[in-house]
Amino acid sequence: MNDTRERLLTAIQEISGWADGLVIGKPEFFRGDSWQVLIGDPRYFLRISIFIRAYLRRANREWDTRIAIGLGAVDHVEHDRISLSSGSAFVSSGKQLDAMSSSLGFAVSHTFEDAKSLGWIEPLVALCSASVSHWSERQANILCRMLPLLSPTQTDLAAELQISKQAVSKSLHTADFDPIMCAIDWVERFDWQNRKLKPVVRPI
């Protein structure tokens, strides 16, 4: 548990270096092995979720985590205790974690009014999650290096890893890198800023 926690914290630290304000506050662990992190830009939720799971699997393919993604408003942030923050994003995330299937690596919930126009989110995320679940340690290691916002070329990565470019290309192909990047690009080009939020009430 301590090893996976340390790797998770390291992954989030790396993500925070991708762009200013991408990770808000400190990631928090609670209820044993549960954890929470607040992302400042919803465009990157899929890229970040895939990266976190890949970062764990690159060390040991048996290491993994379930991620419940909540998209919505953030009303108040406790930077030192993210779990004490409030807003529909946190409510959605909590409900999604309780409801999600154990077979899914990550799932998403949102509180936007135009739900019909966002019907693609859940199946897209589920398909990406299924692909990640089959990655070997070698594939996860290569994907970890290709997923950051500023990623190397395949030629540069091959030189860094001291393997052939063909080996890099083969690992990316068998890991479904191109389809996953198509999904990531779609999510990141989506107009998240103009989505209207509806209120969410958490049952007491």
- DSSP conformation letters of 129-163: HHHHTT--HHHHHHHHHHSSSS---HHHHHHHHTS
Residues contacting 142, CB < 8 A, separation 6+? 157, 161, 168, 171, 172, 175
Q: Which residues pair with 69 in a beta bridge?
A: 108
Sign of CA dihedral 185, 186, 192, 194: positive
- Strand 67-71, strand 34-39: pairing: unpaired
Q: For 32, phi and psi rounded to 5 degrees?
A: 80, -100
Q: How far apart are CA 148 and CA 60, in angstroms?
A: 20
What pLDDT score does 199 carry?
57
CB 90 within 8 A of CB 66: no
- Taking residue 30's Cβ as centre, other Cβ atoms within 10 Å add up to 11
- Average pLDDT, rounded, for the chain: 87
Reported pTM: 0.89
pLDDT, tens only, 48-106: 999 999 999 999 888 988 888 888 888 888 888 888 888 888 888 888 877 777 767 88
Mean pLDDT over 112-122 rounds to 80
What pLDDT score does 201 carry?
46
CB 95 within 8 A of CB 109: yes
- Strand 34-39, strand 23-30: pairing: antiparallel
The secondary structure element, H or E, covering residue 23 is strand 23-30
Q: With pLDDT > 70 as the criterion, what percentage of the chain qualifies?
A: 94
Of 95, 69, 108, which Cα lies nearest the Cα of 203?
Answer: 95
